Amino acid sequence: VQLQASGGGLVQPGGSLRLSCAVSGSSIIIHNVGWYRQAPGKQRELVARIWSGGNIDYQDSVKGRFTISTDNANYTIYLQMRKLTPDDTAVYYCMGDIWAASVGSADYWGQGTLVTVSS
């Protein structure tokens, strides 16, 4: 199972970015997915997560600005980010709680994509 994140970059305050995360693997079932971020000198934190029952959790600071979604047919996870501020600067990681026929269930992480919000 592999997760490949993309879409990060430099954006001005108030701007938007959309992150993507492609999930690949053989005979997999995706239970729930999410985006986390880690700013310099800080611990990794939850940004948004979609649970298997369909519930979605957002970190309070991104509510109303960020939207997590999935394209189930193409095994892709998205994070639409709007009204970005310098406090959103971080490396963003996608993750998935995924069952694979070969190994069972486990958490898998993408490699991270850097988002820098600066003028």
pLDDT (tens digit per residue) in 52-106 = 888 999 999 999 999 999 998 889 999 999 999 999 999 999 999 999 988 889 9
Residue 8's Cβ-side half-sphere holds a number of Cα atoms within 13 Å equal to 21
**CB distance 50 to 71 below 8 Å:** no
What is the residue-averaged pLDDT of the chain? 95
pLDDT confidence tier of residue 24, bands split at 50, 70 and 90: very high
Strands 104-109 and 113-117: unpaired
Structure tokens belonging to residue 10:
């430099």
Residues 91 and 80: their CA atoms lie apart, in Å, by: 15
pLDDT for the residue numbered 52: 86
pLDDT confidence tier of residue 19, bands split at 50, 70 and 90: very high
Judged on CB neighbours under 10 Å (0-12, 13-18, 19+), 53 is exposed
pLDDT for the residue numbered 27: 86
